[in-house]
Structure 1
């Protein structure tokens, strides 16, 4: 499991200009079952994506497709973690 933390590095107008394409990117990976949760940070200086992927390399490759990355409007920090406890409804995501 991976936490993808985006931090905006350009003005919000640049983010808005790429937002529709970014949402289409998200939709693609939700449809594939790769992305589980996503949303804006508060205050709105970036976002978070929770992803289920096989490897860090796979996540790094996916990030390259994000229009925010391609437009150089956000930086990314990827953290891998192994969920050992979950809410009952999320038991299928436990790894330990």
Structure 2
């Protein structure tokens, strides 16, 4: 598995609040599929971070582009391959 850190910067606060339940449901589904290592919001309210564990960049791009936050324009995204050093 490859780890990818995905930043989800806030683009629209109103949309972010509106689509939060759908976003959280989507993340729960991906967690159940074993594709999420960790996730959470930034304390300063500027967005959040999801670290996915998947097999390819193409796979993570597909997952992120189907996140309701991204689909509805509530959040942008930035993907970086992440080399985890330890726990």
Work out whether the TM-score is over 0.5. yes
Question: How much has 1:21 moved relative to structure 2?
Answer: 0.2
Aligned pair count reads: 85
- Kindly state the Cα deviation for residue 65 of structure 1 after the two structures are TM-superposed: 1.2
| Runs of 4 or more above 3 Å deviation | none
- For structure 2, the 5+ residue unaligned runs are none
Higher relative contact order (CA 8 A, sep 6+): 2
| Greater C-alpha Rg | 1
Aligned alpha-carbon RMSD (Å): 0.9
Query: Is structure 2 residue 32 aligned with structure 1 residue 31?
Result: yes
Alpha-carbon deviations, 1:54-92, whole Å to 9, x = none? 111110000111000110111100000222x313xxxxx
Structure 1 portions without partners, runs of 5+? 88-96
Aligned match of 1:69: 70
